[in-house]
Amino acid sequence: MNVIAQGSGKVFADPDADKARAFFRKKNRKMVSKLMTVKEAVEKFVHDGDYLCIGGFGANRIPAAVCHEILRQGRKNMAFAGHTSTHDFQILCAGEVFNKLDVAYIVGLEARGLSVGARRYMESGKVEISEWTNYSLSVRFKAGAAGVSFYPARNIMGTDTFKYSGAKIIECPFTGTKYAAMPAIYPDVSALHVHEADIYGNCRIRGITVSDLDVARASKHLIITCERLISNEEIRREPSLTVIPYWCVDAVCEVPYGSYPGNMYGEYFSDEDHLREWLKVEENPEEFKKFLDKNIYGCKNHFEYIEKNGGLERLQVLRQKELMFTGARS
């Protein structure tokens, strides 16, 4: 196929569909229990150098416990999909976990402001970057989910975002229209937080799904954390609610309040005070180190982190905000 133009950015994940098929051919399809702790899941499935994707939307339905555990276990030199990433990005930057990055949305926490810590890391020159957009990464996962090597999209052309991406402009064989060909991402490992799952990994999600359904299918390994385990009987009672099937999943970890300090649809709102504290403390590297020791390195697990930040009492407040008994910012 004739390539009209191409970006100078690197493609960090191999888009080859046959290589992905060869991997998936060997993936276990047995419906066996995948129940384990977050610690075990990260030990088993997250490796130095892997391409990592974190689901949710920055500080909404994020697998926060997995992000913290990746830091505790000291993973390095990973490639990361900076797709709708906000607080998750901030955590991973604090551990300097990745040094290759596909950028779509990074360093900011939306209306809350920019993360000084994440910016410091991104301005250090330690990270090799390719530039994309949120939808570009969405379709790169979609290509992976579909088992193909690229997806045609009509964005990014004509901009510097394209010039610094790894996309290529091609012509439609039917109409002659130009398209940006987006190379598939088959992440080595991804982590998603969901509302409910059974021990085999059949998942239910409420609220928005962002790109998670494609991420789940494109990923070679998938860690699921869930608010609560449900029975397989319940899954089979209403199969139309299943959005991720067990054969995509490698680990199931029950982590109640697992998106904290992020928002979880229908369960609890984001802890804006804690996120504000995090943004503020990053301004002082020494204070930030103490903060990380307290909240991540000095914690055994997610429960301990939540305990240190207000525990059940705090979660009750966040639940009341989520259910609109009180305002989000009150």
Instruction: Please report whether residue 219 would count as binding another protein according to CB under 8 A.
Output: no
CA–CA separation, 39 and 105 (whole Å): 28
- From 12-20, 24-32, 158-166, 312-320, give the range in contact with another protein by CB under 8 A: 158-166
CA–CA separation, 90 and 315 (whole Å): 22
The two structure tokens encoding residue 67: 């992000």
Instruction: Please report whether residue 119 would count as binding another protein according to CB under 8 A.
Output: yes
Residue 269 near residue 257, CB atoms below 8 Å: no
Instruction: Please report whether residue 295 would count as binding another protein according to CB under 8 A.
Output: no
CA–CA separation, 128 and 249 (whole Å): 30
CB closer to another protein, 45 vs 105: 105
CA–CA separation, 61 and 265 (whole Å): 7
The two structure tokens encoding residue 66: 């997995």
CA–CA separation, 85 and 88 (whole Å): 6
- From 17-25, 171-179, 280-288, 301-309, give the range in contact with another protein by CB under 8 A: 171-179
CB closer to another protein, 46 vs 180: 180
The two structure tokens encoding residue 39: 């610690």
The two structure tokens encoding residue 228: 């609560």
One residue of 50, 69, 88, 214 binding another protein per CB under 8 A: 214
H/E stretch holding 229: strand 221-229
Instruction: Please report whether residue 259 would count as binding another protein according to CB under 8 A.
Output: no
CA–CA separation, 105 and 57 (whole Å): 10
Instruction: Please report whether residue 247 would count as binding another protein according to CB under 8 A.
Output: no
CB closer to another protein, 93 vs 281: 93
Task: Report how many residues bind another protein under the rule CB under 8 A.
Answer: 70
Which of 21, 33, 7, 126 minimizes the C-alpha distance to 78? 126
Instruction: Please report whether residue 148 would count as binding another protein according to CB under 8 A.
Output: no
50-69: contacts with another protein (CB under 8 A)? 56-60
What is the Rg, in whole angstroms, of the alpha carbon atoms belonging to the chain? 20
Instruction: Please report whether residue 82 would count as binding another protein according to CB under 8 A.
Output: yes
Least CB distance from residue 142 to another protein, whole Å?
6
Binding site for another protein (CB under 8 A): 56-60, 82, 84, 86, 103-108, 110-112, 114, 119, 122-125, 127-129, 131-136, 138-139, 142, 153-161, 164, 169, 177-180, 206-214, 263, 265-266, 269-270, 272, 322, 324, 327-329
